[in-house]
Amino acid sequence: MLRNVESVYGISKFAAKSSNAKEENKSTAISTNIPKPEKIVLDNGLKIISQHMPYASSSALNIAVKVGSVNENDDISGISHFIEHMMFKGTKTRSALDIAKQSENVGVELNAFTDKEITNYHGKMLNENLPVIVDLILDMLFNSKIDKKELELERRVILEEIKMYEDSPQELAMEEALSSVWSGHPMGRPVIGTNEIVSGISRNSIVTYLDKFYKPDNMAISIAGNCSNLDKIIKQVRKFTSNIRGESIKQNMPPLYFKSGVTIKKKDIEQAHLVLLMKGLAMTDEDRYALSVLNDALGGGSSSRLFQEIREKRGLVYTVNSFSDTSSLGGVFGIYAGFSSKHLKSILKIAKEELSTVKKDGLNPDELARAKTKARTSLLFKLESSAKNSIQNIYQDLFHNRFIAPDEINEKVQSVTNDKIIELANKLFDLENCSITVVGPKKGLPKKIELSD
């Protein structure tokens, strides 16, 4: 979501040279000729979002269902992800191979992902092939057979996928960390489920879950690109879904509470993997713009504080970064590092020192300017991508209930002050009530870690 450093963003200069404010704001403005997203809602509640990008030779399509692991209960944990897989396994008129061939016949690799609050099916294609892929995905979502034989085959695939994640210490450390801080809450469940529960999910459970959530009023279609045939697509979708009615189940989620603590998991691996978590922000929180600036300066690149202090000056890690994981209910702010286990306490000490310094002093003018410049640059790059525009429009509609203009995002990021950074750091960086998760080798990790370490 941003430009030049001290001459524009130095706080004292900005305050002193108010006569140049208009020129300075102009130099960091977002200038784009891309039309705004538009939305129509069909009679059955299905939303169609479109954004015309006249310079593009392709279009990106996302069809999202507002359902994910938070909508499950403990007995069917992982069912949203299981269903995502089953949507590719055949419909009443297409086999799994038909789906694969018909998409690849027009040069499209269909894909999907499941998250805590959304399941999304997507592809990128030449404009003339958009009707083919729209028809294909709609058929998958509304006419899936959930064939018993295919279900058992796909169950085995997912169980292998679970093993793959368990063999990835970085993924495992992140999942353990999130499960710990949100223990007892739907947000704490792993999206993929567990071996035991996935092994027991029945066809009847899948059909019942589909009937609850895979309804037009719980879905959105987003198209971005040079979609000159949009009227044809709208007619196509309206015709396909005209007889599909019924309301999806609406659920009220309990409040999200952050739980501090220490988790140590030992495996037969070489490196230790640390995830340090603190409270974060919900995706609609207005402080998210300040958090994006803070995140970048703290651990977002090779000039960031954590990278410089832990890797460049001391050589203790190969990878270190900070991150923000967010949802409509809340979020976490965290630090990840991979290293030899003997360096654990040193890395924790340095990371906490840097967090404490930000709480006290915030960022220096160069850091603040650089983070804003990177944000503006990233925002402009995203505007050139049909795929990124399409998925962004989905999230903004489903979770913000409006489309947020690039100018607004840019303006709010540019307006972040160091006082706001300090205020936010003191709000989030409670180092006495954080969460520490370490996945590491069986030998070399301490038997016990204190939050005060």
Complete DSSP assignment for 299-325: HSSTTSHHIIIIIITT--EEEEEEEEE
User: CA 391 → CA 77, 222, 451, distances in Å?
Assistant: 25, 7, 38
pLDDT for the residue 27 = 56
pLDDT for the residue 322 = 97
Element (H, E) at 230: helix 230-241
User: CA 84 → CA 72, 113, 205, distances in Å?
Assistant: 14, 7, 14
Q: For residue 127, count other CB atoms closer than 10 A to its CB.
A: 17
Phi, then psi, of 59 in degrees rounded to 5? -130, 150
| 24, 72, 84, 117: the active-site residue | 84
pLDDT for the residue 250 = 87
Q: Name residues whose C-beta falls within 8 Å of residue 36's C-beta, 6 or more positions apart in sequence.
A: 51, 403, 405
Active-site residue, 84 included: yes
DSSP alpha helix (H) spans, 117-168:
130-142, 148-166
What does the alpha-carbon distance between residue 251 and residue 73 come to, in Å, rounded to a whole number? 12
SS (H, E, C) 37-86: CEEEECCCCCEEEEEECCCCCEEEEEEEECCCHHHCCHHHCCHHHHHHHH
Which two tokens mark 124? 């990128």
- pLDDT tens across 206-255, in order? 999 999 999 999 999 999 998 878 889 999 999 999 999 888 888 889 99
Secondary structure (3-state) at 119:
strand
- pLDDT tens across 287-311, in order? 999 999 999 999 999 999 999 999 9
pLDDT for the residue 3 = 22
Secondary structure (3-state) at 362:
coil
Q: Are 326 and 262 in contact (CB under 8 A)?
A: no
Report long-range pairs for 105-108 (Cβ below 8 Å, ≥24 apart). 106/132, 106/133, 108/132, 108/133
Which two tokens mark 25? 């704001």
Return the C-alpha torsion angle 99, 104, 109, 114, nearest 10: 0
What is the pLDDT of the chain when averaged over all its residues?
A: 91
Q: Are 217 and 247 in contact (CB under 8 A)?
A: yes
Q: Does the domain formed by 38-241 have CATH 3.30.830.10?
A: yes
Per-residue pLDDT of the chain (453 residues; tens, 9 = 90+): 222 222 222 222 222 222 333 333 445 666 567 789 999 999 999 999 999 998 888 999 999 999 999 999 999 999 999 999 999 999 999 999 999 999 999 999 999 999 999 999 999 999 999 999 999 999 999 999 999 999 999 999 999 999 999 999 999 999 999 999 999 999 999 999 999 999 999 999 999 999 999 999 999 999 999 887 888 999 999 999 999 988 888 888 999 999 999 999 999 999 999 999 999 999 999 999 999 999 999 999 999 999 999 999 999 999 999 999 999 999 999 999 999 999 999 999 999 999 999 999 999 999 999 999 999 999 989 888 999 999 999 999 999 999 999 999 999 999 999 999 999 999 999 999 999 999 999 888 887 787 776
Q: Name residues whose C-beta falls within 8 Å of residue 185's C-beta, 6 or more positions apart in sequence.
A: 254, 256, 257
Q: Are 280 and 325 in contact (CB under 8 A)?
A: yes
Q: Are 93 and 143 in contact (CB under 8 A)?
A: yes
Phi, then psi, of 334 in degrees rounded to 5? -145, 170
pTM beyond cutoff 0.95: no
Residue 331, classified by CB atoms within 10 Å of its CB into exposed (0-12), middle (13-18) or buried (19+), is buried
pLDDT for the residue 29 = 66
CATH topology of domain 258-441: Cytochrome Bc1 Complex; Chain A, domain 1 (3.30.830)
What is the location of CATH 3.30.830.10 in the chain? 38-241, 258-441
